Structure 1
Amino acid sequence: MNLDPDLAALRPLGGYFVLRTGGAAAGTLPTLAQAYAAAAPDVYGNPLIFRVGKVATALRAPESRVAASVAHLGLAARLWSVALGCAALYGRVPDLDARLLRWDADAGAPDDLWLSDVRPLPGDAPTLADVVLRGHLGPLSAALRAHHRLAPGLLRGNAASALAGAARELDRWARRHGRTDTAVRARSLAAELLAHPLLTGSGTLTGTAFRRRSCCLYYRVPGGGLCGDCCFTRPPRSSPHAPSE
């Protein structure tokens, strides 16, 4: 099935999967490319710095790196959900070039993204890796690490966790609606992507259940607790540092 200009097939999935298209209404918003490029310290108006600050305030995060990790995880979940959803439903994925995606860093969760032009690409795992891992999560991680003390293993775990979570939600939706082919394709793509060199070793996938080997630091948020795929079985008490790899 060809991609339609509105990516309407994503709408029933809701939440993290829906992507608005047509950039006119979001023309004043920065692109993700601009957010990633503004990685140097003390850059006023940097949307990524603003987003981390917004998350920190909302969560009452005790450290900026905790908010940075949560912000990274949220944006990774949006990108994987859109890409994996399109690949599983359409068999194609839109070009999510960071210069085509506009981002409202002041919006709530999930991250508010607009795609200015729908350009179809193949919906296979290598293309998804190029589009999301190399096109977004690599430069996003570099930009965040320019400001925050985040270990590469933590960010790799976030990327894998977001991918596994998107696949799990897509699988649940597909099964509820009798879309066995969509469920199978989502699981297959996720397994292939988790074996990618940029994600391999980040965790263990069993069916649709994922257990990561790092911690996103959410347990350090007041009342946060542990995520369902955390490497810990109980929140650490003595050390403020979670394992990164």
Structure 2
Amino acid sequence: MPRPATSRRVAGVLSEVATISAYFELETGPLESGWLPLTELLTGPSVLSGRIAEVARRLGTTEDLVAASIFFQGLAARLWSPVIGAAVTRGVLVDLAPDRAFWRPTPSGPLPLRVAHPEGWEITDPNRAAEPIYRVVVTGLLEPLARTTREVTKIAPGLLWGNAASALAGTVQAIARRHPGHAAGASALGRELLSTGVLEGGGELAEPAPGHSFFVRRSCCLYYRLPGGGMCGDCALIDPEIRREQWTRAVRAARGAP
């Protein structure tokens, strides 16, 4: 059985992980006014529809399908990031149970998330961390969100799980940039998760140079249909030769080469 981590340790780890980027922030402590139950967003059609409509308005699109896709991917990144970050950098599996987590509406940027009493477990074997992380993030959070999203928009499931895979890859890449010493561990965990359950077939983490991973997805998030939108860096529609050139430039820039 996994050994529980103290609430103080989990809170401390989350505070450290939050320095990676805003997507990794998971606030802890007593709730103030304005925080709403996360379950209502994940499983409440009216709440989710309202959020998707707000995203559509902000992005300047009349296509709810596009807004739903962008919102799902952004929220998936918010749910993956603190859990993966804590696991990879500090060996703690955060228990992000939806019935104990809260969110707060914001006009832009990553949605604020909070748990009043953080809980989790010590990861004693990093090689066996993918399965419990999958249960926490995919089974507990993303599958309910996907069901509700499909209920209100009829969006294709493959598109949603491609978005979840892309969000996971983005999390892995963010950890590698901020903590190069954990790049290999983050990539290994990412690859294992990408071969698990509904994420399987969503895309592939390529590593054209040691320590530099890039994701290639097999579906499209529909970002190109936004006003002024274009192809994302991991888009399945990018010509392979152009992709290789992009990777080469990115690796050179990361190494400080001209």
Q: TM-score higher than 0.5 here?
A: yes
Structure 2 counterpart of 1:210: 215
CA distance in 2, matches of 1:24, 1:15: 19
Query: What does residue range 167-186 of structure 1 map to in structure 2 within 5 Å?
Result: 167-175=172-180, 180=181, 182-186=182-186
Choose from 139, 142, 154 the match for 1:137: 142
Go from structure 1 to structure 2 and tell me whether the alpha carbon gap of 1:10 and 1:25 turns closer, same or farther (over 3 Å shift): same
Deviations 1:101-127 (A, max 9, x none): 111133421111111221113541111
Secondary structure of 1:144 counterpart: helix
Partner amino acid, structure 1, of 2:96: L
TM-superposed CA distance for 1:221, in Å, is: 0.3
Q: Which structure is higher in helix share?
A: 2
Query: What does residue range 153-192 of structure 1 map to in structure 2 within 5 Å?
Result: 153-175=158-180, 180=181, 182-192=182-192
TM-superposed CA distance for 1:142, in Å, is: 0.5
CA distance in 2, matches of 1:62, 1:230: 22
Structure 2 counterpart of 1:105: 105
1:11 paired with 2:18, answer yes
Partner amino acid, structure 2, of 1:12: T
Q: TM-score, normalised by structure 2?
A: 0.81
Q: Work out whether residues 52 and 71 of structure 1, in 8 Å CA contact, stay in contact via their aligned partners in 2.
A: yes
Partner amino acid, structure 1, of 2:40: Q
1:91 paired with 2:91, answer yes
Query: What does residue range 15-94 of structure 1 map to in structure 2 within 5 Å?
Result: 15-25=22-32, 28-39=34-45, 43=46, 46=47, 48-94=48-94
Unmatched 5+ stretches in structure 2:
124-128, 208-212, 240-258
Q: Work out whether residues 88 and 185 of structure 2, in 8 Å CA contact, stay in contact via their aligned partners in 1.
A: yes
Runs of 4+ with deviation above 4 angstroms:
none
TM-superposed CA distance for 1:95, in Å, is: 0.5
Q: Work out whether residues 160 and 202 of structure 1, in 8 Å CA contact, stay in contact via their aligned partners in 2.
A: yes
**Deviation larger for 133-142 or 197-206:** 197-206
Count of paired positions: 222
CA distance in 1, matches of 2:122, 2:160: 26
Partner amino acid, structure 2, of 1:25: E
Structure 1 counterpart of 2:242: none
CA distance in 1, matches of 2:30, 2:76: 21
TM-superposed CA distance for 1:24, in Å, is: 1.8
The percentage of counterpart residues that share the same residue type is 38
TM-superposed CA distance for 1:233, in Å, is: 2.2
CA distance in 1, matches of 2:204, 2:43: 32
Q: Work out whether residues 18 and 24 of structure 2, in 8 Å CA contact, stay in contact via their aligned partners in 1.
A: yes
Q: TM-score, normalised by structure 1?
A: 0.85
CA distance in 2, matches of 1:88, 1:202: 22
1:228 paired with 2:228, answer no
Go from structure 1 to structure 2 and tell me whether the alpha carbon gap of 1:38 and 1:210 turns closer, same or farther (over 3 Å shift): same
Q: Work out whether residues 171 and 183 of structure 1, in 8 Å CA contact, stay in contact via their aligned partners in 2.
A: yes
**Deviation larger for 198-207 or 73-82:** 198-207
Partner amino acid, structure 1, of 2:11: P
Go from structure 1 to structure 2 and tell me whether the alpha carbon gap of 1:168 and 1:14 turns closer, same or farther (over 3 Å shift): same
CA distance in 2, matches of 1:231, 1:144: 23
CA distance in 2, matches of 1:35, 1:184: 34
